[in-house]
Structure 1
Amino acid sequence: MIDLVFAPLYRVLELWYWLMIQLHGLTGMEILDPSFTFLYRAILMGLCIGVMAPLIGTYLVHRRLALIGDALAHTAFAGVAVGLFVNAVLDFGISPYLTAVVVAMIAALAIELISEATDVYNDVSMAIVLSTGFALGSTLISLNAGGLSVGIDQYLFGNLSTVAPFDAVVLLALCLVVVATVVVARNQLLYVTFDETAAAVSGIPVNWYNRLLVVLTALVVVGAMQILGVILVAAMLVVPVAGATQLARSFTESILIAVVLAELAVVLGIAVAYYGGATGGPVIVLVAVGLYVVAAVLGKLGDELTDSSAPETDAIEG
């Protein structure tokens, strides 16, 4: 059943392989060698993350929820630990990423429900969920019950070489779901982001859209976790968006620039990591931070040029 549902996406993956092979034939780049199909999948997943993360992150940053990615990443770590623990103790074959999706979505809803039920600020509920998630994950990892033995580093820091075809197909599906949902609900999410009170008065179910946004964030976090790792996954939700805000003049422009910066960070980061023999996730984040610095400098220069031209314009008009 699963293979039937994902069959069209496997065709997309095969087409991606073909495109990468053609590109290797044109450029001769070592990183695109056909024997490195895992890198083909890693690049594809990175490009998907480069679309999803800034798309959701732009809404989060403008709502001052930049840290929710960290909270959900730590609960996703707990989800991975649950999957590994169940596999070791009960001899199941469940994917840790599947349990990570479930736990992260529950945590996302918990953040909203805690805020609504107790009237605390979102940062308080995020701190509670983050601490609980990481404590649960650490406890399960340390138990060693039933012969539990976990190579946890790949979940903490990401690992390009462990990307399987099924992982790439699942992330493609997540990307389609996230993008389609945001496109359909764009106006409502935008209204809720900038004026919750007016949105509620106009009849928009604000709480429902708040929950939708955090659930989408959970999907992005789990999707990006295999490439970037738990510790760094939140960076792609925030850093490209922060860079885009230095250059953009509108919300839509901010999304587009953030996606461009994220895609550049992914492509350059994977290339630098490959040729430099480093871990991909941290290098991608470092490149993203570097692009943010460049965007901030360009933004400041643009502001100064605008300010300096204003007196001249006033003098001419006078």
Structure 2
Amino acid sequence: MDGLADLLGASMLSYPYMQRAYLGAVCIAVIGPLVGTFLVHRELAMIGDTLAHTAFAGVAVGLFVNATFSLSLSPLLTAFAVAVVTALLVELLIERAGADSDTSLAIVLTGGFAMGSILITATDGGIAVGIDAYLFGSLATVSKADVGLLVLMCLLVGGAVSLAYRPLLYVTFDATAAQAARMGVRRYKRLTVVLTAFVVVSAMQIMGVILVVAMLVVPVATAALVARSFKRSILLAILAAEFAAVVGVTISYAYAIAAGGSIVVAAIGVYVAALGFRKLTLDWSVPMLSRRSRDRTERSRTGIEADGGEEE
């Protein structure tokens, strides 16, 4: 990146903390949409938000233990533990709750955030300063260890999705058929939510708990506007996320504003641009169609094919 800084004349690329921030954001832009695509097409985007808020409780647990017992336990370790346990609990609730799964998720979400708030106030607010970086994200606090964790998560999540791609695809679009084919539907559903927990916790340092779920959802929604196959939607979602990550980090540095918020706003900007492009393309390509034909064309342009054929 030092060479790139000289080539572009961008001095910010020569600063070590900005190099870590860019590398971290690029990693988040890979693992977020990679896992989020499966969640969104299972209509379980709220799981990301639920795990983000319970990960906040995990961070609070780590900071509380450190403040109370004078330990040096990494808050990320407790966040990982709490998020993974919650992910498995959430999947169990979804299986048992059925139509009431949204209510169950909302209860877990608010309960996790409430627990974090209790732990913060239990120390008279003494850990509030330490937890701000996890709530809102920060470029300045991204360490080499944080970037190393994100790179590790890229390898872990990418490898897991690559190895289990076909079963995950079947479970996402037709869990009943996958169950009939004895694919171990529960196992792959649990794998999805555990990978989501990994993404959420590893991304907290840059994005912040409040905004990390956006990288699971917004780029996926953008890709769904233009992609016709599931694989292509994953690729386009990652590209949209990468663009938003680079633009967001740059804006954050230039105007001294929150990195997480900048990345999310950039991602939403890409979504709006894709939405406008799709509507313009549709209007120009089918100007004489009847309303019914237009609606049918609209559905065909936004549908994701997952039939295992040439498109897939």
Q: Give the structure-2-normalised TM-score.
A: 0.89
Per-residue deviation, residues 99-155 of structure 1 (Å, max 9, x unmatched): 11110111100101123345454322211210111011010011116x843312211
**CA distances 1:148-195 after superposition (whole Å, capped 9, x unpaired):** 433122111100110111111111111110000000000000000000
Tell me: CA distance 1:186–1:121, structure 2 relative to 1, closer, same or farther (3 Å): farther
| Contact 2:97 2:104 survives alignment (8 Å) | no
Q: 2:135·2:208 contact (CA, 8 Å) conserved in 1?
A: yes
Residues in 1 aligned to 2:141 and 2:106: alpha-carbon distance in whole angstroms: 31
Partner of 1:216: 195
Query: CA–CA distance in 2 between the matches of 1:173 and 1:123?
Result: 32
Residues 1:69 and 2:37 are matched in the alignment? no
- 1: distance between equivalents of 2:261 and 2:289? 42
Q: 1:125 to 1:22 in 2, by over 3 A?
A: same
Within 5 Å, which residues of 2 pair with 1:1-318? Answer: 20-33=1-14, 36-119=15-98, 121-144=100-123, 148-151=126-129, 152-308=131-287
Q: CA deviation at 1:267?
A: 0.3
Determine if contact 1:86/1:92 at 8 Å carries over to the other structure. yes
Equivalent pair of 1:50/1:266 in contact (CA under 8 Å): yes
Q: Measure the CA separation in 2 of the matches of 1:267 and 1:118.
A: 40
Structure 1: gaps (5+ residues):
1-19, 312-318
Equivalent-residue separation in structure 2 for 1:21 and 1:310 (angstroms): 55
TM-score scaled by structure 1? 0.88
Once residues 204 and 91 of structure 2 are traced to their aligned partners in structure 1, the CA distance between those partners, rounded to angstroms, is 22
CA separation of 1:186 and 1:309: change in aligned 2, threshold 3 A: farther
Cα distance in 2, alignment partners of residues 64 and 185 from structure 1: 20
Instruction: Tell me, in whole angstroms, the C-alpha distance in 2 between the residues paired with 1:207 and 1:186.
Output: 15
Gap runs ≥5 in structure 2: 291-312
Structure 1 position 310, deviation (Å): 6.9
SS at match of 2:128: coil
Aligned equivalents of 1:108 and 1:210: distance in 2? Answer: 10
The code of the aligned residue for 1:149 comes to I
Report deviation, 1:221: 0.5
Contact 1:114–1:120 (Cα < 8 Å) also in 2: no
Q: Secondary structure at the match of 1:112?
A: helix
CA distance in 2, matches of 1:118, 1:308: 45
Contact 1:57 1:238 in 2 (8 A): yes
**Following the alignment from structure 1 to structure 2, what is the Cα–Cα distance between the partners of residues 247 and 149?**
45
Tell me by how many angstroms 1:302 deviates. Answer: 2.1
Distance across 1 between alignment mates of 2:97 and 2:247: 44
